[in-house]
A and B are shown apart, each in its own frame.
Chain A
């Protein structure tokens, strides 16, 4: 089992560029999440999904879009990157309830210049 994987590991963008971060899990989990981690801020939820074909907004959704076309994949898109989106992005998944153990990917470090 690979667990939760994220692609890419690092990326540098210029302001206004777009990109998609890919998260994949092989544990047949229903719930998937995208968080961002900023210094001194802990982790904050961007968007989440409770199953294939569903998405919902989290605490800080502005500037991001997501899609869950397949149960094992959860994509996070930045349509027009801004320096405020410089962060480390973590994907996580859990079996079916939000209070279940969440399994995290290794993270994507994104810098927007």
Chain B
């Protein structure tokens, strides 16, 4: 079946540190991959996405590259800010899924950035 595995949190960093949140997936065919972010007390917002192998999604200084050979979509940012503190979700959509599924989410990784 389809699944997404994210690194366990919480991740605690100082401002301006480098961030990596690992995400790997299991899927048949050619899924689309997403990173969503959830700020405290809010719903999820799309951060970036990639729809085919070797695509790089980027937004707000975050980026992730769709690696089919390693089935990964790791999220990176060169210099985090306190305002990046949130929960980050990796997700996939597999167009070959049977009806009954939409996005498949990882369990989420909490990032806490201190000044």
B22 to chain A, nearest CB (A): 15
Most buried by B among A40, A48, A98: A98
Asked if residues A45 and B106 are in contact (CB atoms below 8 Å), the reply is: no
| Contact of B107 (CB < 8 Å), options: A40, A45, A103 | A40
Asked if residues A106 and B42 are in contact (CB atoms below 8 Å), the reply is: yes
Asked if residues B49 and A101 are in contact (CB atoms below 8 Å), the reply is: yes
In the assembled complex, the Cα of A41 lies from the Cα of B89 at a distance in Å of 11
Number of interface residues of B (CB under 8 A): 23
Q: Does A59 contact B (CB under 8 A)?
A: yes
Contact with A along B1-43 (1 / 0, CB 8 A): 0001000000000000000000000000000100010000111
Interface set of B (CB-CB < 8 Å, partner A): 4, 32, 36, 41-46, 49, 51, 89, 93, 95, 99-103, 105-108
**Besides the known contacts A42-B4, A92-B43, A107-B42, 7 further A-B residue pairs in the complex with CB atoms under 8 A apart:** A43-B44, A58-B102, A92-B44, A98-B93, A98-B103, A102-B46, A104-B43
